[in-house]
Structure 1
Amino acid sequence: MNFEVTHVSRGDIRLKSEDKHVRVLGEALVALAPNEPGYVIYLNSLNKWEVPPNVTLTETEKRDVVSAIRKHFQDCGSVIEFE
């Protein structure tokens, strides 16, 4: 599944794939050095789709979401951490 990051805020990241939407909680950080994370993602918040509501993500979909987030931050030149 191809995910696109549509919005990054200081508390969450939103992604979409076709007509499905997912929200992942996280936290923007102040990186004091180029190799320090600028954002942390809370993997325990990655459970269900926002649209369609109350539908559980599969393990493959979760991996695809993580890959899309990783690529987004890599393309921006930022370090990300997953917890």
Structure 2
Amino acid sequence: MNFEVVHVSRGDIRLKSEDKLVHVLGEALIASTPTEPSYVIYLNTLNTWEMPPDVALTEAEKQEVIGAIRKHFHDRGSIVEFE
């Protein structure tokens, strides 16, 4: 699958892959230095697809979502942390 970050807010991130959507909770942070994270992702909220509803993500899909989020922030010169 190829995930693309389509929306980042101060409390969540949405990604899509073809006609599927994923929603993961997180929190925007105010980094005081360039080496501090500017966003934290709560991995315990990465469980199911938003669309189709209530379908569990596989472990491989979760890792792809994490990779897409990491790339999104890296491409913008920001650091993301996963908890």
Please state which band the TM-score falls in when normalised by the shorter chain.
over 0.9
Q: Which runs of 5+ in 2 are unaligned?
A: none
For the aligned residue pairs, the C-alpha RMSD in angstroms reads 0.3
Q: Distance in 2 between matches of 1:40 and 1:54?
A: 24
Residue correspondence of structure 1 range 1-83 to structure 2 within 5 A: 1-83=1-83
| Long gaps (5+) in structure 1 | none
Q: Report the residue type matching 1:57 in the other structure.
A: L
Distance 2:41 2:28 in 1: 9
Q: Which amino acid is 2:79 matched to? A: V
Deviations 1:49-81 (A, max 9, x none): 000001000000000000000000000000110
Question: Whole-Å Cα distance in 2 between the matches of residues 54 and 40 of structure 1?
Answer: 24
TM-score after normalising by structure 2: 0.99
Instruction: State the alpha-carbon separation in 2 of the partners of residues 68 and 34 from structure 1.
Output: 21
In structure 1, C-alpha distance between the alignment counterparts of 2:39 and 2:62, rounded to whole Å: 18
TM-score normalised per structure 1: 0.99
* Structure 1 segments (4+ residues) deviating >3 Å: none
Taking the aligned partners of 2:54 and 2:60, their CA distance within structure 1 comes to 17
